[in-house]
Amino acid sequence: MAPTTLHLRAETKNLEHRSALSPEVAQALIQEGYKIVVERSAARIYQDEEFEAAGATLVAEGTWPNAPKDHIIVGLKELPDSDEPLHHAHIQFGHCYKQQDGWARYLSRFARGGGILYDIEFLTGEDGRRVAAFGYYAGYAGAAVALMAWAHQVSDPNTPLGSLPFYPTAPELAQAVQRSMASAINHNAGQQPRVIVIGALGRCGTGAVDFCLGVGVPESSILKWDMAETARGGPFPEITSSDIFINCVYLGPDPIRPFVTYQSLAEPGRKLRVVCDISCDPSDVHNPIPIYTEYSTFQKPTLPVEVKGDGPPLTVVSIDHLPSLVAREASDTFSKLLLSSFKKLNRRGEEGVWTRAQRVYEENVKKLPNESVSK
């Protein structure tokens, strides 16, 4: 029997440096009998030579559409915009099972081509928990950007935060944030920012709290909220009385009362300067932060929020691939979490994590409008 082949495609999203496979995990899969094909990529955090040394076969960038149909295409972010049918099995974040903008057009490509989407967000164990997520480093990077945005606004309130540079490692990112905070604290009468993290007990919230503590924000200046604190329902005055609000709550199918509203932000005495919505999904009707309608980017990390009242300027961070800011550490951790599931791909027709993901795919294909499948 021919070995199961995984084809790691090059990411096309701007400034996406992460990888679903690390060289270490690629080598482990090769030792298990898998064949690993890796597209060359100048943007990926790992050098092509690292994969070559691990035993992978290197191919040109963007060659996955012409790969044999039994190859499994592995990536992270969505594929480039197109209406072309998809014939392979794909492992990636599809962002189309919650009927986000453009979901039907994207999902129908798999249905029309006879392919399948194994959405990483819906790879779950028997306990229903996700087998792998970038949550910790999403929180870690989100806290970093939020603190940089706060520091910039305090030090230079008349200009928006500029494009974020690339940081090869997490310690280098932390050092950059510490430098910007030191200057801002001098402009802020020696005061550290007060930070509220909602969803603080989860992986994402833990990463946000760890980063804040690691760069010197005192524990006494961090409000760590989770389900118990939000049970009464928002809006919450504790948010507007903080300098920074970091939202780490995963958006599920059930509605959540807004944590903030334009009305709550207009109340007298607002101190809030920065909202970092790590769970950002501005098109979701259940979004508990209904004060913005678009994503920000690494080139333009903050979006202004027009609010009334006597408070300072307010900005939102809504970058949808924050872990790319700490791409190596995030990719190392993520691919190790996926390794045990990857090892079962040669039995994906009978192994629970993959059969569950296939059922989710099939259930969502049934929701497609007839016209999108018949194109």
Task: List, in sequence order, every residue forming a beta bridge with 304; answer none if it has no partner.
Answer: 315
Type and span of the H or E element at 57:
strand 57-59
Q: Report the 10 Å Cβ neighbour count for 231.
A: 7
Burial of 339 (0-12, 13-18, 19+ CB in 10 A): middle
Q: By the 8 A CB rule, do 264 and 299 touch?
A: no
Q: By the 8 A CB rule, do 291 and 262 touch?
A: yes
Q: Which amino acid is at 294?
A: E
Type and span of the H or E element at 73:
strand 72-74
Q: Report the 10 Å Cβ neighbour count for 213.
A: 14
Based on the residue annotation, tell me whether 77 is a catalytic residue of this protein. yes
Find out whether the peptide bond into 235 is cis, omega within 30 degrees of 0: yes
For 288-315, b where at least 16 C-beta lie within 10 A, e where not — what string? bbebbeebbbbeebbbebebeeebeebb
- Record the tokens describing residue 194, joined without a space: 């007060």
- Record the tokens describing residue 362, joined without a space: 């099939």
> Using CA atoms, how far apart are residues 343 and 187, in angstroms rounded to an integer?
53
Based on the residue annotation, tell me whether 69 is a catalytic residue of this protein. no
282 φ/ψ sector (left φ>0, alpha ψ -120 to 50, else beta): alpha
In 3-state terms, what secondary structure has residue 158? Answer: coil
Residues 13, 35, 71, 95: which is the catalytic one? Answer: 95
What's the distance, Cα to Cα, between the start and end of the chain in Å? Answer: 36
Q: Report the 10 Å Cβ neighbour count for 244.
A: 27
> Using CA atoms, how far apart are residues 20 and 25, in angstroms rounded to an integer?
9
Residues 7, 17, 77, 90: which is the catalytic one? Answer: 77
Catalytic residues: 77, 95
